[in-house]
């Protein structure tokens, strides 16, 4: 059976087919044999050798296959030392057999032991000088020891050296030393490590870095730089191959080669079709075509394309082997695989993902040698294109990791190196004694003494070995051990920060990642965000890049890479160009990866990445010409990287990287925007180019802003001076503010506010709080979703964050369904939602908002901004949103009133400070009205119970004083400094209508006319804004009270008018003089009442003096005015002459006054003027 397998393989090889098909035939044949014993392994090797000799080849390692027009050999290595031997002494030769059949270019046959063993014997084919050549020995089976010797492992470096390079192949990866030399000292410290080093020793938990710790950091930075640049280089190599062979193979983005036809009668495992859009069968998958070429009709051109791909993979393999990574070639045709789905009853225990180490996943044994077998059992692999990217990128990871590990190992010692020297010397002496004793004991005729000496030496050597092991273990237990080396605690601690336990993504992390992903899809924001500088620096290139981004969703854009392969290769090596990942959201949890593959989401991502990639490439073509040396090239690469909104951050620990993503919404973009500014201070060609980029960008944006605004707004200049006003550094287009400075606009606002605050402090002024809060406000705008949500929660809990960063963008309100809907809308795609909102709210006037689709920065002209403009036109001054009075004036004006309502509605929905303050004031007023029972009494009064009128007056008086207190609280919140308005409001609040000064001298009741007159006099002293605000807040909140409130105010106004008419007649005095005299009379009469009451309390009920009598006595005695006493006595005894004008007034306004002030109609003469209904009201009260 074994001979038959090899004869069939040899016959197949004679036909000139590719060597891979010979490999496949041998592998399949051996697997069909089942298990063989160790003793039968020799037959396998010898049988293969003889079969190939019989076929006309030079023995074991030479098979004359043809691959790409070049002769190839097939090397067979059977490795029983690595195979699993069963209890019956048999080695499995099934799917997991460790039989390595490799294909390599023509060259010297490798030895079967990596440099240590002896190559297979060949009979001499020339005379040796010792006589005629001997006949070759007859074939014999090798001994078990010979099989084991031939089966020893070859070191990966030796295998790579013996195999040699793959000729005429684009190298997908560079060696580690080349990359390390290129980057030199760059990025050895990042922003985070600088801060840590600065705080080290001053904050608990942050220690000063040691020399060994810095060495670990340097190693990880170098590894990261290799990883970043070589992954990019690997991706560009795959894109370049795909671009050259897309039409030849009919290759699509998923790795289907539709131009390769299926052979007639070929049986290929099928799959499921999803709604007719996606078929997961193996038919025409690139991996299946490579592994089963016999099932397809492959043309010579297509075969060359597949061979080119195999060369790329083999080149990566050789580089890994040279780096010391133990990766062996798989027997037969090879294509990488990435398992993405398992059947429910998976018996293998295969893991879908694992952490890469120095031995990557592709270096481990496969569970399924044949992809068809896996497919039939329900396993599914990722698309062939994804597998290609993964294979090459994991190679870059492995090379970076193994070099970092070597550095860490060099910082430590093997446990044996920590063993005391005397133990080592004793062990060496014991070993020499053992060797000498063994030599004597093993010779013919050895004596018993020799054998006894050997036994004693063997025991002694074992004891010394045991002592060495114990000492090594003790040394290992004392200090940390990393990768088998004893290292210092500093090295262990620093290294653990990079490769410690993975910081797993929690469900909340995944939810936030999905929410962020949902906010950034649906547009081509790269145009005016990442490529804002390119728009101004090189507008033709900007348009081309945008076009390539769109085309990327219409057809595979790989041809661009093929046409620009050289410049891309140079650019990615220095970090100037970032090839598309095509799988941006494959990182993270299960749900976030799935979200990244949704229709439209994936297309938006592809457009974004290809726009940046093509733009970077076209700019790099021009920029690299500016370099004069290698340093110039690296600095120019940094400029190109920053100007396109991308950044690399090598050397971040796991915690630092996680913190960056958890802290900032777009941390790398924020780094790139600051780098754009920093690069302008560089020297040489890079600095000059950076300054040119910024000059053209800022100059172009400024000219566009000024010219555009003036052209579209009747020659008015834009707002260039006050960030507190609308349209700061923006131009108005219809009903939309367009900000030409794009992503730099927040920087400009923050810098301007900081400058203004600095100027105020220098001049001894108190800075505007918003100016002091500029940078906290800026950082909040750049914060991640998690940070923003936490800030909203802290706000809702009452933490005074407003004092740090000002009024929030939006407060967290979840009281109603509308609140929840509004909160959800905050997580909709930014560009499309902003554009749609502009069109919905402003119609044609919001057309400029469509620039959001391209990443433009716009804002709709808000109702508040319209209110500010209308207020200035109506009142001739700027609107002050912090003033309640201005809000009141605007609410009273018919032009601005609708704008106030719109502003309030929007402000309440967003939870702004001014709106919340207004809402709080209204809530307080409603509570006061309810406590005074105004709504109930007003409803009854409206229903006809007019007897409640005087109670409504009393309650309205309470409302006035209490609302004065509320307004005082509001104004105190707006300004900490006490004002004259504050003093007046306090006076109003203190007024008491039941005080003596407001007692009616004639009746003893409250003189409401006097009281409300004093209130009015105080109100007049208020500033117009505050006075209007006070009047406004007295308007009822409750609907019933709002109906009665105008009647109450009208009655009070009439009562004040009545107060201006003298009560009594005095022919010798005019109206004004009489009013002043009556005021003096009122004070005197109240004094008389108080004195009479005091006397009665002092002398008891026997004190019989009357009011008229007391008035005459006190007028003459205490006031030295006898007439004053007589006039008061006449009033007390109702003998004074009343003013008929007062009666006429009361008669004219009886319907308005009687319900609220029935006491005015106490005189019979006035009562006779009343209607029956009002007479009953007046008499009853």
Q: How far apart are CA 473 and CA 45, in angstroms?
A: 43
Question: Does the residue 890 lie in any domain?
Answer: no
State yes or no: pLDDT of 1116 exceeds 60: yes
3-class secondary-structure state, position 822: helix
Query: Is-contact 613 581, C-beta < 8 A?
Result: no
Res. 479: pLDDT tops 60: yes
Q: Could you tell me if 480 and 531 lie in one domain?
A: no
Asked if the structure places residue 1031 within a domain, the reply is no
What's the pLDDT score for residue 135?
A: 53
Across 704-708, 1077-1081, 1124-1128, which has the greatest mean pLDDT? 704-708
At residue 23 the predicted structure's pLDDT band, cuts being 50, 70 and 90, is low
> Which phi and psi (to 5°) does residue 249 adopt?
-95, -15
How far is 557 from 567, CA to CA, in rounded Å?
16
Q: Which helix (H) or strand (E) holds 384?
A: helix 384-410
Q: What is the DSSP letter of 413?
A: B
Q: Is the model's pLDDT at 434 over the cut of 50? A: yes
pLDDT band at 1032 (very low <50, low <70, confident <90, very high): low
- Same domain membership, residue 301 and residue 201: yes
Complete edge-to-edge strand list for the sheet that includes strand 70-78: 65-67, 70-78, 99-105
Output the average pLDDT for the chain: 78
Spatial contact of 703 and 692, defined as CB atoms under 8 Å apart: no
Residues 1052-1075 have pLDDT tens digits of: 888 888 878 888 877 677 778 888
pLDDT average, residue stretch 796-822: 78
Query: Does 767 lie in the same domain as 654?
Result: yes
Angle at 909 between CA 906 and CA 910, to 5 degrees: 90
User: Is the pLDDT score of 197 beyond 70?
Assistant: yes
% residues pLDDT > 90 (the chain): 23
**Measured between alpha carbons, how far is 681 from 688 in angstroms, rounded to an integer?**
9
As a whole number of angstroms, the distance between CA 65 and CA 49 comes to 16
The residue-averaged pLDDT of 500-506 equals 58
> Tell me, what's the pLDDT at 6?
64
Q: Average pLDDT, stretch 1163-1169?
A: 75
pLDDT over 60 (residue 123): no
Decide if 793 is inside a domain. no
Find, among 100, 108, 84, 104, the residue nearest to 151 by Cα: 100
Helix, strand or coil, per DSSP, at residue 367: coil
Decide: pTM greater than 0.85. no
What residues does 1035 pair with on adjacent strands?
A: none
Query: Do residues 521 and 584 share a domain?
Result: yes
Query: What's the CA gap between 939 and 957, in Å, rounded?
Result: 18
Q: To which H or E segment does residue 1012 belong? A: helix 1008-1021
Q: What pLDDT does 104 receive?
A: 35
Predicted pLDDT at 952? 86
Query: Domain limits at 468?
Result: 415-486
User: Can you spell out the DSSP letters for 994-1009?
Assistant: TSGGGB-TTT-SB-HH
For residue 425, pLDDT beyond 60: yes
Question: Nearest 5°: phi and psi at 99?
Answer: -105, 110
pLDDT confidence band for 973 (50 / 70 / 90):
very low
335-383 residue pLDDT tens: 898 888 888 776 665 555 444 345 677 777 777 888 898 888 888 888 9
pLDDT attached to residue 13:
64
Q: Report which DSSP code applies to 155.
A: P
Instruction: State whether 441 and 349 are in the same domain.
Output: no
* H helix intervals, 1022-1158: 1024-1033, 1039-1059, 1071-1099, 1107-1117, 1122-1132, 1140-1148, 1150-1153
In terms of Cβ atoms closer than 10 Å to its own Cβ (0-12, 13-18, 19+), residue 249 is buried
Strand partners, 274: 278
Domain boundary among 379, 410, 441: 410
Task: Check whether residue 186 and residue 146 sit in a common domain.
Answer: no
> Would you say residue 185 lies in a domain?
yes
Helix axes 884-892, 1024-1033, angle to 10 degrees: 70
- For 295, residues 6+ apart whose C-beta sits below 8 A from its C-beta are 262, 263, 266, 267, 268, 288
Residues making up the chain, counted from first to last: 1181
Predicted confidence (pLDDT) per residue in 437-473, tens digit:
888 888 888 888 888 888 888 888 888 888 877 777 7
- Sequence-separated (6 or more) residues with CB below 8 Å from residue 876: none
Burial class (CB in 10 A: 0-12, 13-18, 19+), 1096: middle
HSE-CB at 247 with a 13 A cutoff on CA atoms is 3
Between CA 275 and CA 282, with CA 278 as vertex, the angle to 5 degrees is 135
CB-CB contact of 865 with 728 (8 Å)? no
Tell me: do 627 and 672 sit in the same domain: yes
CB-count burial class (<10 Å; 0-12, 13-18, 19+) for 275: exposed
Alpha-carbon distances of 1178 from 1155, 1156, 1159, 1164, rounded to whole Å:
8, 10, 7, 11
- What is the distance between the terminal CA atoms of the chain, rounded to a whole angstrom? 128
State mean pLDDT over 212-226.
88
If pLDDT is split at 50, 70 and 90, which confidence band does 59 have? very low
* Whole-number pLDDT of residue 153: 58
Cβ–Cβ contacts within 10 Å for residue 53, how many? 15
Burial class (CB within 10 angstroms; exposed 0-12, middle 13-18, buried 19+) of 247: exposed
| Residue in 731, 735, 743, 737 with CA at minimum distance from that of residue 707 | 731
pLDDT at 1155 over 70: yes
CA gap 207, 910 in Å, rounded: 45
pLDDT per residue over 587-632, tens digit each? 555 666 677 777 788 888 889 999 999 999 999 999 999 998 999 9
- Pick the residue with more confidence: 160 or 1116? 1116
Q: Is residue 13 part of a domain?
A: yes
pLDDT at 158 over 80: no
**pLDDT at residue 330, rounded to an integer:** 61
- Is 644's pLDDT higher than 80? yes
Residue range 970-994: mean pLDDT, rounded: 66
Beta-sheet pairing, 70-78 with 65-67: antiparallel
Cα 921 from Cα 974, distance rounded (Å)? 13
Are 313 and 438 members of one domain? no
The C-alpha atoms of residue 365 and residue 135 are separated, in whole angstroms, by 43
The pLDDT score that the predictor gives to residue 368 is 82
Do 479 and 517 lie in one domain? The reply is no
Residue 329 forms part of a structural domain: yes
Largest CA distance in the chain: 172
How large is the average pLDDT for residues 478-492?
A: 71
Range 961-966, long-range pairs (CB < 8 A, 24+ positions): 961/988, 961/989, 961/990, 961/991, 962/928, 962/989, 963/925, 963/928, 963/1030, 963/1033, 963/1034, 964/988, 964/989, 964/1030, 965/989, 966/921, 966/924, 966/925, 966/928, 966/1033
> Is 1002 inside any structural domain?
no
Q: Round to whole Å and give the CA distance between 199 and 1060.
A: 77
Under 8 Å between Cβ of 811 and 910: yes
Residue 542 phi, psi dihedral angles, 5° rounding: -60, -45
Closest listed residue to residue 144, CA positions, set 44, 14, 30, 75: 44
Residue 307 near residue 68 (C-beta atoms within 8 A) = yes
Residue 801 lies in a domain: no
The H-assigned helical ranges of 847-932 are 863-875, 884-892, 897-910, 913-931
pLDDT at 509 over 90: no
Contacts of 546 (CB under 8 A, 6+ apart): 524, 527, 611, 854
DSSP 8-state symbol, 848: G
Model confidence at 77, pLDDT cuts 50, 70, 90, reads: very low
Q: What does the pLDDT read at residue 4?
A: 65
* Cβ(739)–Cβ(745) below 8 Å: yes
Angle at 895 between CA 890 and CA 901, to 5 degrees: 60
In angstroms, the Cα distances linking 114 to 74, 108, 118 are 17, 14, 10
Q: Are residues 688 and 760 in the same domain?
A: yes
Q: Is the pLDDT of residue 102 over 50?
A: no
pLDDT band at 914 (very low <50, low <70, confident <90, very high): low
pLDDT grade, residue 82 (50/70/90)? very low
Distance of CA 6 to the CA centre of its chain: 60
The string of DSSP letters for 20-32 reads: HHHHHHHHHHHHH
Same domain, 404 and 424: no
Residue of 706 and 6 predicted with greater confidence: 706
Q: Are residues 341 and 362 in the same domain?
A: yes
Domain count, the chain: 4
The C-alpha angle 1144, 1145, 1146, rounded to 5 degrees, equals 90
Residue 762's pLDDT band, with cuts at 50, 70 and 90, is very high
- The mean pLDDT of 898-915, rounded to a whole number, is 65
Strand partners, 1093: none
H-type helices in 587-683, by residue range? Answer: 590-596, 601-623, 630-643, 654-663, 667-679
Round the CA-based radius of gyration of the chain to a whole number and report it: 48
């Amino acid at each position: 059976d074994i001979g038959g397998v090899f004869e069939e393989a040899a016959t197949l090889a004679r036909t000139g087919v590719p060597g891979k098909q010979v490999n496949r035939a041998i592998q399949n044949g051996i697997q069909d044999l089942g298990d063989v014993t160790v003793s039968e392994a020799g037959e396998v090797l010898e049988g293969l050798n003889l079969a190939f000799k019989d076929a006309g080849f030079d023995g074991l390692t030479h098979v004359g296959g043809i691959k790409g027009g070049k002769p190839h050999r097939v090397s067979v290595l059977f490795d029983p030392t690595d195979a699993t031997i069963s209890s019956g002494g048999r080695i499995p030769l099934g799917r997991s057999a460790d039989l390595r059949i490799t294909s390599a270019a023509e060259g010297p046959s490798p030895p079967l032991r990596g440099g240590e063993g002896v190559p297979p014997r060949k009979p001499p084919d020339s005379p040796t000088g010792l006589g005629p050549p001997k006949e070759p020995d007859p074939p014999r089976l090798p001994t078990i020891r010979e099989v084991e010797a031939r089966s020893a492992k070859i070191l990966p470096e030796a295998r790579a050296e013996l195999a040699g390079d793959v000729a005429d192949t684009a190298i997908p990866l560079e060696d580690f030393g080349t990359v390390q030399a290129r980057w030199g000292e760059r990025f050895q410290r990042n922003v985070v490590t600088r801060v840590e080093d600065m705080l080290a020793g001053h904050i608990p938990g942050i220690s000063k870095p040691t020399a060994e710790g810095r060495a670990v950091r340097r190693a990880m930075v170098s590894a990261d730089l290799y990883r970043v640049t070589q992954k990019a280089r690997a991706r560009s190599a795959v894109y370049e191959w795909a671009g050259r062979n897309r039409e030849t193979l009919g290759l699509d983005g998923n790795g289907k080669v539709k131009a390769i036809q299926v052979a007639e009668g070929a049986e290929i495992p099928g799959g499921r079709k999803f709604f007719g859009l996606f078929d997961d069968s193996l038919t025409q998958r690139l991996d299946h075509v490579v592994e089963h070429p016999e099932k397809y009709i492959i043309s010579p051109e297509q075969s060359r394309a597949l061979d080119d791909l195999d060369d790329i993979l083999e080149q990566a393999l050789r580089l890994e082997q040279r780096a010391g990574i133990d990766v062996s070639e798989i027997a037969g045709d090879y294509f990488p695989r990435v398992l993405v789905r398992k059947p429910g009853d998976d018996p293998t225990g295969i893991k879908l993902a694992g952490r890469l180490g120095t031995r990557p996943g592709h270096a481990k044994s496969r569970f399924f040698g044949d992809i068809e077998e896996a497919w039939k059992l329900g396993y599914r692999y990722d698309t062939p294109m994804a597998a290609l990217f993964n294979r090459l990128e994991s190679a870059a990871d492995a090379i970076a990791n193994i070099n970092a590990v070597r550095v860490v190992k060099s910082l430590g010692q093997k446990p044996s190196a920590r063993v005391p020297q005397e133990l080592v010397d004793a062990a060496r002496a014991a070993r020499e004694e053992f060797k000498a004793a063994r030599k004597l004991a093993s010779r013919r005729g050895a004596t018993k003494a020799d054998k006894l000496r050997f036994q004693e030496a063997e025991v002694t050597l074992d004891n010394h070995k045991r002592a060495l092991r114990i000492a090594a273990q003790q040394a290992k237990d004392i200090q940390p051990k990393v990768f088998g080396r004893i290292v210092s605690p500093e090295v262990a601690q620093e290294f653990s920060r990079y490769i410690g336990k993975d910081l797993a993504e929690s469900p909340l992390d995944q939810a936030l990642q999905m929410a962020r992903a949902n906010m950034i899809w649906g547009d081509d924001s790269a145009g005016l965000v990442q490529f804002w500088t390119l728009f101004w620096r090189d507008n033709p290139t900007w348009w081309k890049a945008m076009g390539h981004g769109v085309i990327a969703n219409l057809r595979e854009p790989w041809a661009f890479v093929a046409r620009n392969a050289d410049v891309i290769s140079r650019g990615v090596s220095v970090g100037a160009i970032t090839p598309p990942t095509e799988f941006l959201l494959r990182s993270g949890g299960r749900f976030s990866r799935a979200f990244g593959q949704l229709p439209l989401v994936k297309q938006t991502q592809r457009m974004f990445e290809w726009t940046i990639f093509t733009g970077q490439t076209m700019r790099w073509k021009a920029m690299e010409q500016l370099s004069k040396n290698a340093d110039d090239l690296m600095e120019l690469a940094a400029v190109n990287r920053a100007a396109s909104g991308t950044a690399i951050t090598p050397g971040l620990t796991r915690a630092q990287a996680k913190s960056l993503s958890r802290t900032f919404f777009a941390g790398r973009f924020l780094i790139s925007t600051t780098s754009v500014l920093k690069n302008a201070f560089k020297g040489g060609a890079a600095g000059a180019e950076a300054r040119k980029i910024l000059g053209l960008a800022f100059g172009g944006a400024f000219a566009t802003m000024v010219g555009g605004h003036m052209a579209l707004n009747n020659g008015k200049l834009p707002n260039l001076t006050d960030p507190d006003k609308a349209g700061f550094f923006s131009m108005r287009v219809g009903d939309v503010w367009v900000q030409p400075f794009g992503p730099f606009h927040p920087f400009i606002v923050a810098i301007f506010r900081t400058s203004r605050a600095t100027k105020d402090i220098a001049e001894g002024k108190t800075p505007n709080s918003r100016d002091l809060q500029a940078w906290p406000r800026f950082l909040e705008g750049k914060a991640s979703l998690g940070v923003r949500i936490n800030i909203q929660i802290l706000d809702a809990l009452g933490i005074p964050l407003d004092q740090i960063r000002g009024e929030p963008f939006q407060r967290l309100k979840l009281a109603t369904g509308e609140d929840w809907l509004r909160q959800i809308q905050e997580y909709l795609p930014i560009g499309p939602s902003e554009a749609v909102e502009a069109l919905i709210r402003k119609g044609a006037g919001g057309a400029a908002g469509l620039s959001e689709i391209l990443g433009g920065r716009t804002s709709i002209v808000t109702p508040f901004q319209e209110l500010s403009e209308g207020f200035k036109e109506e009142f001739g001054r700027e609107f002050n949103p912090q003033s309640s009075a201005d809000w009141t004036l605007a609410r009273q004006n018919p032009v601005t009133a609708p704008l106030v309502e719109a502003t309030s509605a929007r402000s309440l929905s967003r939870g702004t400070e001014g709106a919340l303050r207004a809402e709080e004031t209204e809530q307080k007023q409603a509570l006061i009205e309810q406590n005074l029972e105004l709504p109930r009494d007003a409803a009854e009064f409206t229903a006809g119970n007019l007897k409640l009128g005087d109670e409504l007056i009393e309650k309205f008086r309470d409302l006035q004083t209490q609302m004065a207190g509320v307004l005082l609280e509001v104004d105190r919140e707006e300004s900490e400094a006490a004002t004259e308005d504050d003093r007046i409001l306090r006076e109003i609040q203190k007024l008491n209508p039941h005080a003596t000064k407001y007692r009616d001298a004639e009746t003893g009741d409250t003189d409401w006319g006097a009281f409300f007159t004093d209130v009015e006099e105080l109100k007049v002293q208020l500033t117009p804004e505050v006075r209007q605000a006070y009047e406004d807040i007295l308007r009822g909140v409750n609907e019933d009270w709002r109906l009665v409130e105008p009647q109450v105010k009208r009655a009070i106004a009439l009562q004040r008018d009545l107060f201006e008419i003298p009560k009594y007649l005095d022919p010798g005095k005019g109206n004004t003089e009489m009013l002043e005299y009556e005021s003096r009379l009122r004070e005197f009469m109240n004094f008389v009442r108080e004195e009479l009451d005091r006397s009665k309390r002092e002398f008891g009920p026997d004190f019989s003096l009357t009011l008229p009598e007391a008035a005459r006595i006190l007028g003459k005695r205490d006031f030295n005015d006898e007439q004053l006493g007589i006039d008061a006595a006449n009033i007390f005894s109702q003998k004074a002459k009343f003013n008929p004008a007062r009666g006429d007034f009361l008669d004219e306004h009886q319907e308005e006054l009687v319900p609220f002030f029935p006491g005015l109609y106490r005189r019979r003469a006035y009562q006779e003027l009343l209607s029956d209904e009002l007479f009953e009201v007046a008499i009853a009260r």
